[in-house]
Structure formats: structure tokens, C-alpha cells
Amino acid sequence: MAVLPTLLVVLYGLCLLFILGFSLGQWQLTRLARRAYKQGLPPAPPIPPAWPTVLVQLPLYNEQNVVERVIDACAALDYPADRLHIQVLDDSNDATVALAAARVAHHAARGLSISHVRRTDRQGFKAGALRFGLEGNTDEYVAIFDADFVPEADFLKRTIPYFLPDEKIGVVQTRWGHLNEDEDLLTRLQAFGLNAHFLIEQVGRTFAGFFINFNGTGGVWRRACIDDAGGWHTDTLTEDLDLSYRAQLRGWHFLYRPDIVAPAELPAVMDALKSQQFRWTKGAAETARKHLGQMWRSSQPLAVKLQATFHLLNSSVYIVIMLMALLSVPLVFVRAQYHEFKVVFRLASVFLLGFAPLVYYYYTAWRLAHPRKSMWRYPGFFLLFLSVSMGLALHNARAVILGWLGQRTPFVRTPKAGTGGPAKRRRYRTGGVGALVLLEGVLACYFAFGLVAGIYFNDFGLLPFHTLLTIGFGAICYYSVRDDK
């Protein structure tokens, strides 16, 4: 038996096993979430006789399209004025500074306790700004909103009461809504994926008592929890996930409420989406590198440790997808020329059922988010989402590898376009068409070649995979080039 074909088959088989394990993890969370919904969410606690003090932090960097909107939304929060303070943590170096200063002055003149906080540099990026804002502040709770969020007026009155019955609750996280979900196909696909996280993963983990994460925005911290966990660190790109794990390892509990929605804007161009994906995937790998060992040395139950490992290593699935994709084309020729592997490939086809739990996972989220939509719209949309997710595999796999290697990269925030129309938007760019985009185009051609080769050999075993890969990488490349114009 030839060595190289055997190695290819073995590596591909290991990738299938990983995908199966990943899918079963999502299936478990789906079962837990369905049980949670069937049981019903715990009732909201009573309104407290006296409201505690709250600090609202708005970290900003060059957000002139949305800065006025988020400041005005937070200024409209229905909360006792003498118990509320708003910090606009503005690290900007463009017109955002003047716009923020004007809105802060306007609301301060109305008697609102609001301040425009400026630093001399961006040291530590978002985490550094949040930490800087807490210096000298003594408010009991801290709500955080990124610039693209538009919290409802009753947000604080709906979240703060959950802290009061239990002094060990460190965070109340809410579900993200989508202001521009129907803007185009790109935003609909993002909403599809995010809904699965917020309607399934967070609900399932909370229900089972597993670790969850503060999502960086749209949530409230108990100040004592932040301090006890060591404050905001700047050594990962996901300061929210990092602090979440440090706090829960210290014994703090996190509460997630899917019924409280914090509306936000989705990235509407590919470079903005890629910058967001890079930060999330690389930051998750950095956090795993930082905390996995400590998690396994802790006294947490085995089930919590296993689920935390699955949680922190989630982004590593992109490395496996990328490896599977690269191996799949030569495997077309192995299937055609080495008939002794026929039994092995038939066995491997069974492991392709590992994708079935993902169908169940995303379908459950789809029905929860869109109960009135026809179920027959789901299969095509799911396949398109799966295809585009595969198309991001090269970009995200690179981010994960950099994270595991500990290579430091700057915090590149996700540009927001706002809702003022193209004429009123400033186009923030995170990068142009570089070598990575060109490589994505080359890979689209590579997978198309695999597709044609399968048809030529009359072997359709890998045809669906190559079709999804070709469409996915082609779409990512197309959107990257289009949005650069």
C-alpha cells in the first residue's frame, strides 16, 4: 500500500473525527437549550426598592458614522439620573472626537452625568480604555456598549434586578439583535450564525451550569467581579472572553437572558467582517492558550472542564476545515487510482454524517429566530451559510495559528457604516486586496478543479464538498474585491 495515499487518507479521517466531535458538541448544546426553553426561563426578579449606581462605558475609536447614535441611545436610558454615569471612552483621531464632544456637551447641559474621556494613546486598545475608565470610579455596576449598539431605554431596569438576589452573579449578558439583518445577503448570513450562538450556545451552557462568556458588549458587570478577577487584561484580542474565564474560575456566576435584546449593527462589507472574524478567532485561541491549563488544574467538575475545552477550542475547527479542503482534491485521484481504499472511503462516508448535528443545531436556532418563516427556506440558506463559513477558513485558520503561537497583533476594530445612507457614511477600511485575498481566489480555482476531476472520474463522493468550497472561497474573494472599490 502506497505511503503517501495512506497518509492522505489517515489525515483526512482524523479531520472527519474532529468534525464529528465538534458537531456532537453542538448537538449537546442544542438538546440543553431545547430543555431550557421547554422548562421556561426563570421569572424576572422584583424591582428593587432603591436602584444601585451604574456606570455605562462606550469604548470608541473612529466611529463617526455611529457615535452620535450610541451616545443618544445611552442618554435616553430610563434610570434614575443620580444613579447613572456615562463615559464616552474616545480614543479616536478623526471627526469622531468633535462629534462625540458635541453630543456629550448637549446631554451634560440637560443635567445628565456624562463625560468625554480621552487618553494620550491607545495603549491596550479597547481593554486599556475600559480599564482607564474604571480608575477612580466607584459605581457598583458597569454596562458596556460598543459603538454599533442601540440599547433600549429599559435595558438597565431589565438587567440590574438580576444581580440583587445573588451576590455571586458577576455578569448579566443579553442577546444581540440585528439592526440591519435584511440589508443584504452578507448581513443575513451573519445574523444566521450569531443567532445560533445567542439562542442555542449561550442558553445551553447557562442551563447546564457550564462556563459562558461575556460577549464584549450588550451586558452588565458587577464591579466587584471585575476587580476580583484582576481587571481588564490586554494580552488577548478577546478581552471579554479572557475576563469571563478568570472571573468564573474565581467562583463568579454568569447569567444569560435571551429575552432581553440589545440591537446592534452587523458589518455590511467583507473587510469589516474579516477584521471582526480575525479578532474573534485569534482572541479565542489566545485565551485558550492562556486558560486551558488552569481550567484543567481547577476543581471544576469534569463536565465543566470538557465543555470549557470545547468552548475555547471552537475556533480551531477552521484549521481542520482548511486541512480537509486541501486534502480533498488529491483524494479524488486516490479514490480513482487506489481501489484498495474503497472500503475505507465507504467508512469515511459514514463519518460525513457528523454534519447532521450541525443541521439540527442551526435549524433549531433558525426556527427560534424566525418562527414564521417557511421551513423549506432553511436547507438552501444553511448550505449557503456553510459554504461561506468554509470560504473564511483560510483567513480564520491563519488567525487561530497566530493566536496559538502567541504572536501579537494590533486590535483592529470592526468599522460600522451607520444607517444614514451611503452619502452620509464614511468608508473605514481595514485593508485592501492583499495576498490572502488572491490566495482565496486561487483556492477557489483549486477546488473547482477538484470538482471537475470528480466528474471526470465519475466519482461524486467529494462533489458536494468541492461545490461548497468553490462557492465559498469564490464568494469571499468576490466580496473582498468588490468592497475594496
pTM of the model: 0.92
* Coil vs helix vs strand at 60: strand
Alpha helices, DSSP H only, in 119-184? 125-134, 155-159
pLDDT at 196 over 50: yes
Select the more confidently predicted residue: 348 or 102: 102
The stretch 258-281 carries a mean pLDDT of 93
pLDDT at 485 over 90: no
Clarify whether 240 is annotated catalytic. yes
Name the average pLDDT for the chain: 91
pLDDT at 329 over 70: yes
The stretch 234-251 carries a mean pLDDT of 96
pLDDT at 422 over 50: no
pLDDT at 348 over 70: no
pLDDT digits (tens, 9 = 90+) for 78-98: 999 999 999 999 999 999 999
The stretch 199-217 carries a mean pLDDT of 97
Which residue out of 90, 146, 240, 483 is catalytically annotated? Answer: 240
The stretch 410-435 carries a mean pLDDT of 63
pLDDT digits (tens, 9 = 90+) for 43-70: 889 999 999 999 999 999 999 999 999 9
Give the Cα separation of 284 and 240 in Å (integer).
10
As to burial, measured by CB atoms within 10 angstroms (0-12 exposed, 13-18 middle, 19+ buried), residue 38 is exposed
Phi/psi of residue 54, each to 5°?
-130, 135
Are residues 397 and 389 in contact, defined by beta-carbon separation less than 8 angstroms? no
pLDDT at 424 over 50: no
pLDDT bin (cut points 50, 70, 90) of residue 480 is confident
Which residue out of 91, 146, 271, 483 is catalytically annotated? Answer: 91
Clarify whether 235 is annotated catalytic. no
Q: What pLDDT does 462 receive? A: 84
Q: What pLDDT does 352 receive? A: 63
* Coil vs helix vs strand at 171: strand
